[in-house]
Amino acid sequence: MKARFLIPLGIFLAMAGLFWFVLNQMNSGEYNPRELPSALIDKPAPVFELPSLHKPDQSIGTPNFIGQVSLFNVWASWCVSCRVEHPFFMELAQRNEIPIYGLNYKDERADALRWLIQLGDPYVASAFDYEGRVGIDWGVYGVPETFVVDKQGKIRMRYPGPVTAEVWERKFVPLIAQLRSEQG
Amino acid sequence: MMRCLLPGLVMALLLGVAGVGTAAIESFSFDSPEQEARFKTLSGQLRCLVCQNQSIGDSNAELAQDLRREVYEMIKAGQDDAQIVTFLVDRYGDFVLYKPPVTSTTALLWAGPFLLIVIGLVFLIRFIRTRVAATATDEALSDEEQARLDALLDPSAKEPRP
């Protein structure tokens, strides 16, 4: 038991190693302690029917998702991070990469429409969720959030926070390729 | 990561006491004191997903306000506590509960303290046993020590007094 005095040093090194590992993961964006897993993964998208942002007399809802792999992006004109991800969604829309549906969350219609006119509209259509109830059904806890919905209308991924080109390549591209190869 | 609700949170913090106060001003009217008590208990047990160390009852975040409204309306509609909790867990997962259910992922969380007690007890018992064993062997004097002790106790021996 000569090396007994080394035990605290060993414990210290183990803890320091663990902390270093976690901090490193946080810095690289691999791990975010505030990021919550969605309770809806692999479950059918919550059924909803909301008026369209542009045409209040038309409705947008769950049936829009069926038959294609699509994105469902929760956004608002008051949301700062939505401005961060917006140019990238414009790029995706111009490349015709994937249909993007929007959920305009707890916003004023006029503000939202102005936002789209000023910055461009990457969405096939945006649903207008003034009260945020559809947001609750989807488990939204912050804006922006982006869901990947498969051909059967099931939620396969939820990404909280702004989607950047880097995030897109790392998290979305492989999944979307896989979902497209699945039977519709 | 910058979430959009964060600036609102910061603002609430800056407003300080004023921000805390407004959470209580919201007026919900209940049919009975029993309903109100249920509302208070439930909103204390559910976690606000935005400011994760506050319950939806404490938090002033927009989402917490919306969830309070949701809970209130479900209580008014006559749903029981289990139904309300299920509604929220279906949408936000177990994280919305301050008291997580026992599952394979939370088993360590629940059993951890008891494991630590057991480990501590094992160490304590081992420590006490080695101490007892050590003092027991110390009691026996060697021949030399015994001779010296006898000499000290012997009144006829002539030792110089200090």
Asked whether the beta carbons of residue A141 and residue B49 sit closer than 8 angstroms, the reply is yes
Total count of domains within chain A? 1
| Full 3-state SS string of A4-69 | HHHHHHHHHHHHHHHHHHHHHHHHCCCCCCCCCCCCCCCCECCCCEEEECCCCCCEEEHHHHCCCC
Q: What is the mean pLDDT of residues B48-70?
A: 91
Residue B14 is predicted with a pLDDT of 52
- Distance of CA A162 to CAs A24, A29, A82, B30, Å? 20, 12, 6, 40
A59 — phi, psi (to 5°)? -115, 150
**Quick one: tokens of B86?**
């299920």
Does residue B22 have a pLDDT over 60?
Answer: no
Does residue B158 sit within a domain?
Answer: no
Residue B20 is predicted with a pLDDT of 45
Same domain flag for B91 and B13: yes
- Cross-strand pairs, A154: A44
Token pair 């867990």 is at which residue?
B89
Question: Would you tell me how many other CB atoms lie within 10 Å of the CB of residue A25?
Answer: 13
In percent, the amount of chain B with pLDDT more than 70 equals 79
Q: Confidence class of residue B18 from pLDDT cuts 50, 70 and 90?
A: very low
**Quick one: tokens of B20?**
């805390």
Same domain flag for B34 and B62: yes
Does residue B25 have a pLDDT over 70?
Answer: no
Range of the domain at A92: 39-181
Q: What is the mean pLDDT of residues B27-31?
A: 87
Q: Which amino acid is at A154?
A: K
> What are the residues whose beta carbons fall under 8 Å from the beta carbon of A143, sequence distance 6 or more?
A74, A75, A76, A79, A81, A82, A105, B3, B4, B5
Range of the domain at B127: 107-153
> What are the residues whose beta carbons fall under 8 Å from the beta carbon of A128, sequence distance 6 or more?
A50, A51, A52, A53, A56, A104, A107, A109, A112
ipTM score: 0.83
Mean pLDDT, all residues of chain B? 83
Closest residue, chain B, to A79 (C-alpha)? B4
Out of B4, B66, B93, the one facing A142 most closely (by C-beta) is B4
Residue A147: helix, strand or coil by DSSP?
strand
Which portions of chain A are predicted below pLDDT 50?
A: none
Out of A32, A36, A133, the one facing B49 most closely (by C-beta) is A36
Total count of domains within chain B? 2
Same domain flag for B70 and B11: yes
Does residue B9 have a pLDDT over 60?
Answer: no
- Cross-strand pairs, A61: A49
Residue B140 is predicted with a pLDDT of 73
DSSP codes joined into one string, A70-93: EEEEEE-TT-HHHHHHHHHHHHHH
Domain boundary among B48, B73, B96: B96
Residue B23 is predicted with a pLDDT of 47
DSSP codes joined into one string, B62-96: HHHHHHHHHHHHHHHTT--HHHHHHHHHHHH-GGG
Closest approach of B148 to chain A, Cα-based (Å): 34
Out of A38, A136, A161, the one facing B1 most closely (by C-beta) is A161
Compute the distance between CA of residue A130 and CA of residue B43 in angstroms, rounded to an integer. Answer: 23
Asked whether the beta carbons of residue A141 and residue B63 sit closer than 8 angstroms, the reply is yes
Same domain flag for B65 and B126: no
Out of A81, A131, A141, the one facing B50 most closely (by C-beta) is A141
Residue A156: helix, strand or coil by DSSP?
strand
Closest approach of A37 to chain B, Cα-based (Å): 8
Compute the distance between CA of residue A17 and CA of residue B79 in angstroms, rounded to an integer. Answer: 49
Same domain flag for B11 and B82: yes
Does residue B160 sit within a domain?
Answer: no
Same domain flag for B46 and B114: no
Q: What is the mean pLDDT of residues B67-90?
A: 94
Return the CATH number at A173.
3.40.30.10
Residues of chain A contacting B10 with CB distance shorter than 8 Å:
none
Closest approach of B157 to chain A, Cα-based (Å): 45
Same domain flag for B119 and B87: no
Q: Which amino acid is at A133?
A: R
Does residue B159 have a pLDDT over 90?
Answer: no
Residue A72 is predicted with a pLDDT of 97
Same domain flag for B76 and B55: yes
**Chain length of chain A:** 184
The pairs formed by B8-15 with CB atoms below 8 angstroms and a separation of 24 or more are: B8/B61, B8/B62, B9/B50, B9/B51, B9/B61, B12/B60, B12/B61
Same domain flag for B48 and B92: yes
Same domain flag for B77 and B36: yes
Return the CATH number at B27.
1.10.8.640
Identify the residue among B91, B95, B127 best suited for mutation to test binding to A, counting A beta carbons within 10 A and taking the highest: B91
Closest approach of A36 to chain B, Cα-based (Å): 8
